[in-house]
A and B are shown apart, each in its own frame.
Chain A
Amino acid sequence: MSYTTETADQVSSIAGEKYKYGFVTDIETELAPMGLNEDIIRFISAKKDEPDWMLQWRLRAYERWLTMEEPEWAKVEYPEIDFQDAYYYAAPKSQKDGPQSLDEVDPELLRTYEKLGIPLHEQQMLAGVAVDAVFDSVSVATTFRKELAKAGVIFCPISEAVKDYPELVQKYLGSVVPYSDNFYATLNSAVFTDGSFVYIPKGVRCPMELSTYFRINQANTGQFERTLIIADEGSYVSYLEGCTAPQRDENQLHAAVVELVLMDDAEIKYSTVQNWYPGDADGKGGIYNFVTKRAACRGRNSKVSWTQVETGSAVTWKYPSCILQGDNSVGEFYSVAITNNLQQADTGTKMIHIGENTSSTIIAKGISAGRSQSTYRGLVRMQPGAKGGRNYTQCDSLLIGDKCGAHTVPYIENRNRTAQIEHEATTAKISEDQLFYCSQRGLTDEEALSMIVNGFCKQVLQELPMEFAVEAQKLVGISLEGSVG
């Protein structure tokens, strides 16, 4: 069975038993009133049937949020967001409201699916078409869950974890990204409605790659996602988020928070492919993606690896970070950010070296086309105790067309003599020679571009889990359509 049909089966299987899962419960028709105030937060908390400590935490965050100002330092421009002109709690759309067949779906979207090689049934699910019951093979999901339970891995919606594993959630929620962290993270802390919770017990190697792929597609993801992953001593997990196919979404503002906690010898590999709606060629519509992601390497010899392929969203504001506290801990950041048309991306990472012999690697590739703006913004800090710390940073920008921009804003702070930091950045365009060589070999301009850009991104794409990597390569080409010739 190929990867894609297998995925299709998983998607349909989960979709078929959504009630059992509990993240689409009996709330389907409900909608909180527009705006944001304490009552809305109480409403959300009540809807989720949350314990009082959770509500109090949300309220503290809300109170804090009221005193905060929207950050303006990023190189992105967008109209002011009216936070009162939004719904903070909307039940996921019922499938009855969605298109009833692919004929009703935007043909542009279908063309993209085809190029990505997504089979018909999966296309239906991604486009939000009611899923055919024939595909309801419950067995795959059940097998999955059995296998996870056998290993002792907890993988469930965060709202469920709040009720079922309150001691774990209370201990770790907000311990990496405190509720007072930044404007969007604080907003998220007050109003988050969905997300994943993962706990990998001591010494367990998670038997499969965990993915939010299917769940998101089924439930029209929460606008304010909250993810918490705890990797206990000596455990390993690979977590995949997002999907290569463009996703339908009604929410314009997304403010997610992801927290990773790593104990001694633990390892988390976190991969993201973000392809939210970028808006049309004139920059109308499109998602604002303001995300706070941070990993705390608390234990010795722990390792965290962020890999991201960012091709979607009108505005991206995202800096997956690593706090390297445990001695010998390792942080990695591999990123490809592609912007086209009027997209803007301000993304990068922070590597805070605290423990001895901590090391970090940053490979960031930015590709700007059309009239888009792409910025790498990153911080590498060696604290006085980071004896023997090591960082290597490489950020390269590729410009396609003369109307786009590529910017690099690294902060490098070294307070330890024995720590070594190396940073390199380059900006260049695709050379006429490269293109000429390819066309001489019979490739069209677009094929050539896709190939050259894929070569440029290879260092990052190869870090993705294999199936993802294959799709991501196609995505790179598709994202840049119309930018040459």
Chain B
Amino acid sequence: MTLENYQAQLAQNLPQTDLPWLADLRQGAADRFASIGLPDRKVEAWRYTNLKPIQARLFEVGPFEADTFQADRVRAGDTTPALLSDSHRMVFSDGLLIAGAQDLPDGVSLKGMAQVLAEDPEILTDHKQGIGAIRDLPLPTLNRALSRDGYVLVLEPGVIVAQAIEILFQSSTGAAYPRNLILAGAGAQVSVVEHYLGTSEDDYLVNGVTEVHAATGAHIKRYKIQRDGPGASHIATLAGQLEADARFENFDLNLGAKLARSEIHMALQGHGADASLNGVYLLRDKQHCDNAILMDHVVGATNSHQDYRGILDDKAHGVFQGKITVQPDAQGIEGHQLNKTLLLSDTAEIDSKPELEIRADDVKCSHGATAGELDEAGLFYLRSRGIPEAEARQLLMAAFIVETLGHIDDEAIRDVMDGLVTDWMAS
């Protein structure tokens, strides 16, 4: 299937085809993607990642049934245990909602995108076009054309959600295009975990978009745990806009998928806005993981922090591309970025491109990158104290990762991540 028969076939699989603005946006995106296609490695942003493997799956979008989001119909499909013992939970399967969140506190709305389009499309009025920074990029464009569902989280001003929100995206086949939106009113606070889980070894595709709008003083913590299947391709684009004094904390734990790309565009557009983007990638076999971050300090007195660490074994290939941009006259900036990678095998590869683009002078920006093997001296020290080599190696690896995990504010979530990291090292 291709985009040429978009109207005839693909568009029929989408929800709410009767909304004219939505149909126009989708058609516009389909036309645009048809003309630009997937980026190849000559495009600087895709220098280290080859998208050819996803080509075959791009248009395998399943049908949409109007009653999909009826909560009572669907509980049966939700058999995966929750990561967090105490959370508001929502489950998507191959791109469609199968279990809605329940017992939400006042001032919080969490629904499927298809449900919002059917019942409450005016929530989206100000966000129809999506965030400009990613609007015209090839993969978000394709997501726009083919997305069937996703979550929409709306927080009234001042609402503090005590329990975390856990959203499971389980996939097994075809192509899923989740489109998610978080709208946090002034001073609202929430923790959201996006958990991507593969339930087959198929070479399915997930190409998701999450957009975040944090109003003045809002505090959003968003954690992504990527455990897609060993044959899968996982593409995720996150775009955020932070108003004055808003804080955004993101953590990307990349464990799964054969090909993974996590792209983040963060705009700090109000004084006092603060973004902390961190991540860990643990790869083996022929896994490929690309973290690409664009941190844009649009106005002065904004801070940002990035800490990404990875461990690569076998023939794994890790990529980190981080860029801090400071716009003209955005004075009083602090922006820091760190990328560290451990190579465990002779055939693993890390490509790191930490970039700074500074157009104002009252700034303190730094970046650092290291790549190398486990510290021989440390290993020797531990072994001389009677610790077996395997255990010593694991200890050193854990020590390497623990600092980054420390950026996770929410203790329960940190424990979950820590457990997953430990499991990876032990396996």
List residues of chain A with CB under 8 Å of any chain B CB.
73, 384, 397, 399-429
Contacts and interface: CB of A to CB of B under 8 A. Distances in A.
Interface in B46-61: none
> Which applies to chain B's interface (DSSP): helix, strand, loop or mixed?
strand
Contact of B357 (A407, A418, A423): A407
Contacts of B331: 402
A384 B345 CA distance: 11
A410 B324 CA distance: 13
B356 A423 contact: no
Contacts of A410: 352-355, 369
Contact of A411 (B349, B353, B358, B359): B353
Nearest to A425: B367
B409 interface: no
A409 B45 CA distance: 13
B390 to A, nearest CB: 17
A409 B364 contact: no
Interface stretch (B112-120, B214-222, B370-378): B370-378
Interface in B330-366: 331, 341, 343-366
Nearest to B363: A427
Contact of A421 (B349, B355, B356, B369): B369
B122 interface: no
A408 B355 contact: yes
A399 B354 CA distance: 19
Contact of B362 (A414, A416, A418, A429): A429
Contacts of A421: 369-372
B44 interface: yes
A483 to B, nearest CB: 11
B121 interface: no
Contact of B369 (A403, A404, A423, A427): A423
Contact of B328 (A403, A408, A427): A403
B201 interface: no
Contacts of A413: 349-352
B363 A399 contact: yes
B368 interface: yes
B329 interface: yes
Nearest to B48: A413
B368 A402 contact: no
Contact of B368 (A404, A418, A425): A425
Contacts of B358: 397, 399, 405-407, 427
A426 B356 CA distance: 9
A350 to B, nearest CB: 14
A376 to B, nearest CB: 9
A400 B347 CA distance: 44
B27 to A, nearest CB: 32
Contacts of A407: 355-358
Nearest to B330: A402
Contacts of A417: 343-346, 348, 372-373
Contacts of A415: 348-349
**Top 10 A-B pairs ranked by shortest CB distance?**
A420-B372, A399-B361, A414-B371, A412-B352, A408-B356, A417-B343, A423-B369, A427-B365, A429-B361, A405-B359
Contacts of A405: 357-359
27 contacts: A384-B346, A384-B347, A399-B360, A399-B361, A400-B361, A402-B362, A405-B357, A405-B358, A407-B356, A407-B358, A411-B351, A411-B353, A412-B371, A413-B352, A414-B341, A414-B349, A416-B346, A417-B346, A420-B371, A420-B373, A421-B370, A421-B372, A422-B369, A423-B367, A425-B356, A425-B366, A429-B361
A18 to B, nearest CB: 47
B350 A414 contact: yes
A409 B341 contact: no
A426 B334 CA distance: 11
Interface in B155-188: none
Given A384-B346, A423-B368, A404 B361 contact: yes
A417 B342 CA distance: 8
Given A402-B360, A402-B362, A417-B343, A408 B367 contact: yes
A420 B371 CA distance: 6
Given A417-B345, A424-B366, 10 more contacts: A406-B356, A407-B357, A411-B352, A412-B352, A412-B353, A413-B350, A419-B371, A419-B372, A422-B369, A424-B368
